[in-house]
Structure 1
Amino acid sequence: MEITKGKIQKAKKVVIYGPEGIGKSTFAARFPGAVFIDTEGSTNDMDVARLPRPTSWNMLFDEIEYIKTHTNECRTLVIDTVDWAELLCVEHICAVHNKKGIEDFGYGNGYVYTKEEFGRFLNKLSDLIEIGINVALTAHAQLRKFEQPDELGAYDRWELKLGKKTQSQTSPLVKEWADMLLFANYKTFSIAVGKDGKKHKGQGGKRTMYTQHHPCWDAKNRYGLPEECEFDYSVIADIIGDTNTVAPEPVKEGKQQIEIQKPAKDNDFMNIPKDTDEKVDFDTGEKIEETKKEPKVEDSVFHIADYIPKALRDLMYPNLVSEEELMEAVYQRGFFPRGTPFQNLPQEFVEGCLIGAWPQVLDVIKTIRSSYEVPFDK
């Protein structure tokens, strides 16, 4: 026996799931050397490499075997989606045992057969990992009522959209198999509207990726990813270890593509192209860096801290809204506990609520101002 130490660099097993239309296929297409097995035909309008759409479980296995024996044609195999692949698995089980449906087996035997067959499928994909081919599975998400045995009441949580009953068998297999289980969803905020503040409406809708377990969804990773991040492949690009190269944009007719280089000598400024917008020192040929100056605020007494985004400062200055008044509105609406500093507010909240719903925020601040005690008032 030989004992080894340190990290072992291997291909990655990634599962991406979320509601329909959020961009799972587009995300998976950015994996290096991606080849799709499109089980549902969702990539018809995408410029990706793909194998023929499998019409049977055996054909799906044959396509995986083809990738295994043609490693030069694929560096990442994408199964899009795994819940549609499960339908092929169920159809195969029923055909082999001459059953009309999975319920015809009785006493849950059909689900046991499905679990065993789906395990073979995941083992087949693991063979690709051993030879250095990444595997990415996409899946739809569904809301399901969930009850904890030690708690009263139930709540909704997002889960992999595998069969209503087979999910109790196949869903755990997929989650245990994956190195990364990534959940993508639209992040929205509930904003109070109206003077009474009783009505609410959704604001935001930014696509967000969750990488760690939460009571309302399943997620995991083994690479120290932040719990919540932008739904973009660049977040995991370093973990995968390779990225697709982006082809340069074609040069339009009538225009010349110019690459500006630093002169070889201090006085060799004649080599700099004349038709560029860069400003160059006439004596040395060095490029002059221009710095944009922030417009000065006319009121030198009233000042807003620079760590507040400029877009929000531009809204605060006309009405002389101070940082203290802004945070008081946040506290009174119950968005964050009193005493939370502005620097701790999530960027999505600042952009989606404070900036996106500024008229409502200003109304709250005006209500707060109406309760101020005016000195020397008789």
Structure 2
Amino acid sequence: MGFQIKSGVIPKAQKVILYGVEGIGKTTFASQFPNPLFIDTEDSSLYLNVKRFDKPTSWTMLLQEVDFVKQTRPCRTLIIDTMDWGEDLAKKHLMAQNHWQAIDSTGYGTRYVALADEIGKLLNSLSEVIELGINVVITAHAWLRKKEEPDEMGAYDRYELKLEKKTAPLVKEWADMVLFANYKTTIITDDKTNSKKATGGQRVMYTTHRPSWDAKNRLGLQDELPFDYSQIAQAFEAATNIQTQQVTQTAETQDIPLPSVPEETPEDQGDPVLETAPAPEYKENIPAVIPQDVADLMKINQVTVEEVMQIIYQGGFMPKDTPIGNIPTDLWGYLATNWDKALGLLNSKIRK
């Protein structure tokens, strides 16, 4: 048999989870990865001079933005900021799709399983981004949870990803690197009075697992480092030294029209990215009666108001003479959560 045996380190794009306490600077840190492009779910990057998609207003929109990156490769690092807000979009998607009032443990946790399945779909899609040589950085908030141990350790506080219990393990296991950022407090003892005082507040990141937090890395990083990208830059670049193939792709080769992406800033020049056609300008005025999540999907996919009404009529959801103002809210929610089916109807029966 003609098997090949290779040796040595093989560079590859990295899957990074960056989580930490509120306000420590996760977004700024993420913006320093090579040629980043943000999917900003909570407007955290607005004060930074970075490339970003429009803020996703639905789970479907977020998935379409990831698909756009796979189709066009417009960056070296894709950043989802933050995962916990992205998880909220997935929850709203499932609630609208299944007419649930909440994501809870009803039915022996079947709703949490459905949520984990949606997050799994996103992670699978992001793995395909990795296969193209594009790094993926996912940021998340941290929260303290009480950890119960059956042995002599008893209970103690532990920092974890601010995600549901079935979601967090999926995200951690998916990643090559998990970095935890926190403020390090130093306790100073006064020799005269024997009193103790907390001081410092230095921002640090932890790169390896401890009972009080999750962290890991495969780059041989020190256990604790100042919270600054320069501390990992050399090791990260060495691990991801990939020559990305450049292929020109235009809107005609896409299944969906291209979302708009801001032009590259001068410091991005020289990074290997693909040339993409500009998104067609959406000129139609969408009535305020159409919810924002549906309106955003219409803009991305160049769907007119008349076409979305034809989807409703020809799909048999409402009589043909129904005014747009009389379309029920739950029907708009159904369209948003089943947007792929709506596009299928549009392209097969309406856009002939």
Q: Do both share a fold (TM > 0.5)?
A: yes
* Amino acid corresponding to residue 238 of structure 1 in structure 2: Q
In structure 1, distance between residues paired with 2:197 and 2:67: 50
Q: 1:230 aligns with which of 198, 202, 226?
A: 226
Cross-structure match for 2:150: 149
Cross-structure match for 1:335: none
Cross-structure match for 2:92: 91
In structure 2, distance between residues paired with 1:89 and 1:3: 42
In structure 2, distance between residues paired with 1:57 and 1:79: 13
Question: Does residue 1:108 correspond to 2:104, yes or no?
Answer: no
Cross-structure match for 2:319: none
Root-mean-square deviation (CA), in Å? 2.1
Task: Tell me by how many angstroms 1:103 deviates.
Answer: 2.3
Cross-structure match for 2:176: 179
Q: CA, structure 1 residues 9+245, in 2 after alignment: closer, same or farther (shift >3 Å)?
A: farther
Task: Tell me by how many angstroms 1:237 deviates.
Answer: 1.2
Cross-structure match for 2:196: 200
Matches within 5 A, 1:254-273: none
Cross-structure match for 1:138: 139
Task: Tell me by how many angstroms 1:105 deviates.
Answer: 4.0
In structure 1, distance between residues paired with 2:4 and 2:128: 23
In structure 1, distance between residues paired with 2:5 and 2:114: 38
In structure 1, distance between residues paired with 2:265 and 2:118: 37
Q: Is the 8 A contact 2:219 2:236 kept in 1?
A: no
In structure 2, distance between residues paired with 1:55 and 1:35: 18
In structure 2, distance between residues paired with 1:38 and 1:160: 18
Cross-structure match for 2:118: 117
Of all paired residues, the percent bearing the same amino acid is 54
Matches within 5 A, 1:150-169: 150-162=151-163, 166=164, 168-169=165-166
Instruction: Please tell me whether Structure 1 or Structure 2 has the larger radius of gyration of its CA atoms.
Output: 1
Deviation >4 Å, runs of 4+ = 242-247
In structure 2, distance between residues paired with 1:66 and 1:79: 14
Task: Tell me by how many angstroms 1:13 deviates.
Answer: 0.6
Q: CA, structure 1 residues 18+58, in 2 after alignment: closer, same or farther (shift >3 Å)?
A: same
Structure 1, unpaired ranges of 5+: 248-378
Cross-structure match for 2:316: none
In structure 1, distance between residues paired with 2:103 and 2:32: 36
Task: Tell me by how many angstroms 1:47 deviates.
Answer: 1.2
What per-residue deviation string (whole Å, max 9, x for no partner) do you get for residues 251-279 of structure 1?
A: xxxxxxxxxxxxxxxxxxxxxxxxxxxxx
* Amino acid corresponding to residue 172 of structure 1 in structure 2: P
Q: CA, structure 1 residues 104+229, in 2 after alignment: closer, same or farther (shift >3 Å)?
A: closer
Between 123-132 and 146-155, report the one with greater CA deviation. Answer: 146-155
Structure 2, unpaired ranges of 5+: 242-263, 268-352
What per-residue deviation string (whole Å, max 9, x for no partner) do you get for residues 172-229 of structure 1?
A: 11111111100111111122348431x3221111111110011111100011110011
Q: Is the 8 A contact 2:27 2:81 kept in 1?
A: yes
Cross-structure match for 1:210: 206
Q: CA, structure 1 residues 208+104, in 2 after alignment: closer, same or farther (shift >3 Å)?
A: closer
Cross-structure match for 1:20: 22
In structure 1, distance between residues paired with 2:105 and 2:198: 45
Q: CA, structure 1 residues 245+236, in 2 after alignment: closer, same or farther (shift >3 Å)?
A: farther
Q: Is the 8 A contact 1:39 1:85 kept in 2?
A: yes
TM-score computed with the length of structure 1 as normaliser: 0.61
In structure 2, distance between residues paired with 1:245 and 1:74: 12
What per-residue deviation string (whole Å, max 9, x for no partner) do you get for residues 63-99 of structure 1?
A: 001111111x211000000111111111111111111
In structure 2, distance between residues paired with 1:227 and 1:79: 25
In structure 2, distance between residues paired with 1:84 and 1:239: 30
Cross-structure match for 1:370: none
Cross-structure match for 1:39: 41
Q: CA, structure 1 residues 211+69, in 2 after alignment: closer, same or farther (shift >3 Å)?
A: same
TM-score computed with the length of structure 2 as normaliser: 0.65
Structure of greater relative contact order (alpha carbons < 8 Å, 6+ residues apart) = 2
Q: CA, structure 1 residues 78+130, in 2 after alignment: closer, same or farther (shift >3 Å)?
A: same
Task: Tell me by how many angstroms 1:151 deviates.
Answer: 2.4
In structure 2, distance between residues paired with 1:177 and 1:104: 24
* Amino acid corresponding to residue 59 of structure 1 in structure 2: M
Q: Is the 8 A contact 2:105 2:112 kept in 1?
A: no
